[in-house]
Amino acid sequence: MNSPLLVPILITVIYLTSIYMHLAKKNNGVAGLYALQSVALVLLFVSSFLANPTVLLFLVIVVSIIVKVILAPRFFNRLVTRHKVKFTVSSYANTPVTLIVIMFITAFVNSDVFLPITDLSASNSTYVALAIAAMLVSIFLMVNRKSALSQIVGVLSLENSIVAFGIIAGLEQSALLQLGTLFDIFVWMLVATVFVSMVYRHTGSLVVTTMRHLKD
């Protein structure tokens, strides 16, 4: 990572978008935040590309823009429109409690307990911690939100955070693996879209608590 100013800004954007996803009241807003987070991630790739330009990495950037910045939010918005669930964002914890939990997660990640992991890249330890915090906050989004759509975004946000963590901690994977992961995400989005539509047809809702009736 050769851009000392850009990296802190981008990782902060990824972390903050994962927090704002908790606060967004509209599903479209969550999709927009994911698009913004994906743009930040793509810029991280661009930063890597400028330092070490390869054709494959360029391909990764192009595919990331197509899948993460354009297709994923578009699929998401279409789902919201089709099932008219624009405002059905509901969570278990209210906003103050949610923010307190996020604060604890962030503090925990920045504590000495996480030193062996954050020290993977000693010069970027603060940003490594932010990436880990973004991961855990994304998982917490899946725990806290009742809507299946929020959970899908949570998974995608978790994936963005993991990739960002890999880049910053110096554990960046090969470009071919990145392409494979992107393909995986693309297929997963298609399956999730079909799955969510089917669940909606059966239960008339996208609230995951109603899915327990599918058990039998």
Do the beta carbons of residue 186 and residue 71 sit within 8 Å?
yes
C-alpha closest to that of 156 among 61, 36, 60: 36
Residue from the set 143, 187, 190, 194 that interacts with other proteins by CB under 8 A: 143
User: Which residue's CB is nearer to other proteins, number 65 or number 208?
Assistant: 208
Binding marks (x or -) toward other proteins, 75..94, rule CB under 8 A?
A: -----------------x--
Binding marks (x or -) toward other proteins, 36..75, rule CB under 8 A?
A: ----------------------------------------
Phi, psi dihedrals of residue 87, rounded to the nearest 5°: -110, 10
Minimal distance, residue 145 CB to other proteins, in Å = 8
Structure tokens at 120: 């993977």
C-alpha closest to that of 38 among 72, 9, 76: 72
Do the beta carbons of residue 101 and residue 140 sit within 8 Å?
yes
211 binds other proteins, rule: CB under 8 A: yes
How many residues line the site for other proteins (CB under 8 A)? 22
Q: Stretches 7-15, 21-29, 64-72, 138-146: which one binds other proteins (CB under 8 A)? A: 138-146
145 strand-pairing partners: 91
Residue from the set 6, 16, 65, 208 that interacts with other proteins by CB under 8 A: 208
Q: Which residues contact 38 (CB under 8 A, 6 or more apart)?
A: 64, 68, 69, 72, 73, 160
Residues within the interface to other proteins (CB under 8 A): 92, 108, 112-117, 136, 139-140, 142-146, 151, 208-209, 211-212, 215
